[in-house]
Structure formats: structure tokens, C-alpha cells
Structure 1
């Protein structure tokens, strides 16, 4: 059974390509994915069978061997560091909440800082499996 790595896959389009061990592209339809799998991450190692399609080789019966490592997951802060960040964020949100109770929004600079921090923390929590 040939193997290769996912070059790219777009679940919305319903297809993607595998680059095989010889460096050739193999078309992969979403219907070739294992049951329950809707997308594959770039770089995931797969095994598959090949049939000749209208425009060249086409992967069938794709089996996921190893998922590609998540760059976000590998670079996110350690849990202890993240705990300190979350505690600081809670203090900032509490201060903003107290101001809102007094009918005052935070200044533009404070709002921008808070929004940036919220996005950064959310990105560290939102990691694909």
C-alpha cells in the first residue's frame, strides 16, 4: 500500500492532494477519507490505494498513519505560565467590569490592550487535536 503526506486538504472544497514518496501529487477526494474523518491536516502521514482517475492518480481508502504535529500546540505556554497569564487577565477584566458598572468604558488604549490579550489567550486555548 503506498504512503505519503497530505500536501493540502480543503474540507469545504471536498478534496486535496497527497504527495507520495516519489514526490508526485495524488488527488484525494473527501469520500476517500476514513469513516468519521472530515479533514486532514497538512503534513499528516497517510496510506492509501491508488486508482487511475480522469486526470491522473487518485487516492482511495485513505488510512491516517500519523497526524501532523500542531505548531500552535508545540509553542503554547506551559500550564504554570498560562495560569499566571489567566490570573492577570482576570484582574484586568475585573477592573474593566468595575468601570462598566460605573457607566464608563475603558479608555481606547486600555480597550485595545484588553482585546489583544483576550485574543492571545483564546488562541492558546483553541488548539486543534
Structure 2
């Protein structure tokens, strides 16, 4: 899975290009981004790529980080973060109870918890 940065992205048109660490470029369409994600120039991504008739194209992308100035502008207020952290504690406590009884969460619930944890981690890092 290559890692790279968004070279440019036109949100109105829904596409742009990503440049891998080795310098290769791939077409990036908004449909391969995680739901609710916005990317800008400089956003770091992990992605799967395939060669198509028109050249390299991203099949699936995962955000690693967004540029610092964008992250700070999107940062939630401390009051909102406090509420989110309280909710996460409750969710993790429920998850822990299931694990103690030998049950992993189903895939959908596990993905939701992972997304929630990533969102909080992103806000704390920015």
C-alpha cells in the first residue's frame, strides 16, 4: 500500500492527483475517499492503486494526516471534545464488557468504534 500526498484536488469536480513517496502519480476520485472526508493539497494518504487504461488510479484511500493549518481550523471546541471523550469512554466500557465475556464486536460496530477513535486522535494531534 503506497503512501503519498495529495498534489492537488478539486472538491467541486471531485478529483485530483496523489504523488507517492517514489514520485509516481495516481488519479484520485472522491468516491474512493472515506465517507465525509475532504482532502486538500498536502493531505497524506495510504492508498491502493491499479493501472487502468488511463494510467494509475487510486482504488481505496485512507487518510494519514491533513495539513496542520487545515487541522487547526477544523479543530473541535474543548466542550465538544469533552462530550466526545465521555461518549468514547462509555462505548469502550461496553466493548470491554463484551471482550471479557469472550465476544468481539461485529465488524460494523468495530469499524464505527475505530472511526470514532481515529477522529478523536486526529483532533488531539492537531
Give TM class, smaller chain.
Answer: 0.5 to 0.7
Query: How far apart are the structure 1 equivalents of 2:52 and 2:30?
Result: 15
Q: How many Å separate the matches in 2 of 1:61 and 1:70? A: 25
Mark the structure with the bigger radius of gyration.
1
1:19 to 2:19 alignment:
yes
Residue number in structure 1 paired with 2:105: none
Using the alignment, how far apart are the partners of 2:52 and 2:35 within structure 1?
22
Matches within 5 A, 1:82-101: none
Distance 1:24 1:68 in 2: 21
CA drift of 1:28 comes to: 0.4
- Could you list the per-position Cα deviations for residues 89-128 of structure 1 after superposition, in whole angstroms to 9, with x for gaps in the alignment? xxxxxxxxxxxxxxxxxxxxxxxxxxxxxxxxxxxxxxxx
Q: Distance in 2 between matches of 1:22 and 1:66?
A: 19
CA distance in 1, matches of 2:36, 2:13: 17
Structure 1 runs of 4+ off > 3 angstroms?
none
- Give the corresponding residue for 1:80: none
> What is aligned with 2:54?
55
SS in 1 for 2:41: coil
Provide the C-alpha distance between the structure 1 equivalents of 2:52 and 2:15, rounded to a whole number of angstroms: 14
Give aligned pairs, total.
Answer: 74
**Structure 1: tracts of 5 or more residues without a match:** 75-128
Task: Describe the SS at the equivalent of 1:31.
Answer: helix
Q: Could you state the TM-score of these two structures normalised by the residue count of structure 1? A: 0.52
CA distance in 1, matches of 2:52, 2:14: 16
**1:40 match:** 39
C-alpha RMSD of the superposition = 2.2
Give the TM-score normalised by structure 2.
0.53
Following superposition, the deviation at residue 14 of structure 1 comes to: 1.1
Per-residue deviation, 1:5: 0.3
